[in-house]
Amino acid sequence: MSNERNGAVTLKGNPITLMGPELKVGDKAPDFVCDQGLAPSVSLQDMGNNIKVFNVLLSIATPVCQAQTRKFNEELGTLGGNLEAYIVSTDLPMSHKTWCGAEGIELIKGISDYKENIFGTSYGVLMKDHKLLCRAVFVIDQDNIIKHAEYVNEISEEPDYDSALSVIKTLL
């Protein structure tokens, strides 16, 4: 694969190589295809002209990823508007549904990049050696332009919620 970014982030201080480009504010959001379980696959184009928040996780089974999802669900739930939020990870789609159902998470939908890692390589979040996605947050406007991109430097830490939320509020 091309576009290896050696040491782009760390996991507990250990450098991690990410695959794909480092996307920046102002870039056109790349299209992708992710799995939704028994429902049809979904792409960026299928998501229409809503504001989109991609809550990118290693695994919904880990405490930090769960905390991140709870926080975004809580904060985004107070905003309303033309907004769609997604968990994106390489977990099986059923894992998202099971955890979200048990936790009462209804706002954020789970989409899975486990089959072909198209999201991971298009958004530059696929960890080369682990085939998991690193922690990141992307906010995409109605025209599919990236308005916020955070690759969390230390994967074991939570993202900068305030920065993402302030961008989201300006778009609503």
Q: Domain-by-domain residue ranges, the chain? A: 4-171
Cα end-to-end span (Å), the chain: 37
Number of H helices, E strands in the chain: 4, 10
**pLDDT tens column, 96-155:** 999 999 999 999 999 999 999 999 999 999 999 999 999 999 999 999 999 999 999 999
> Does the pLDDT value for residue 1 go beyond 60?
no
**Residue in 34, 65, 100, 134 annotated catalytic:** 65
* This prediction's pTM: 0.97
Dihedral sign, Cα of residue 109, residue 110, residue 116, residue 121: positive
Helix/strand/coil for 98 = helix
Report the alpha-carbon distance of residue 15 to residue 9 in Å, rounded.
Answer: 6
Between strands 4-11 and 39-43, the pairing is: unpaired
* Residue 65 annotated to the active site: yes
Assigned CATH for 4-171: 3.40.30.10
Confidence of residue 2 (pLDDT cuts 50, 70, 90): low
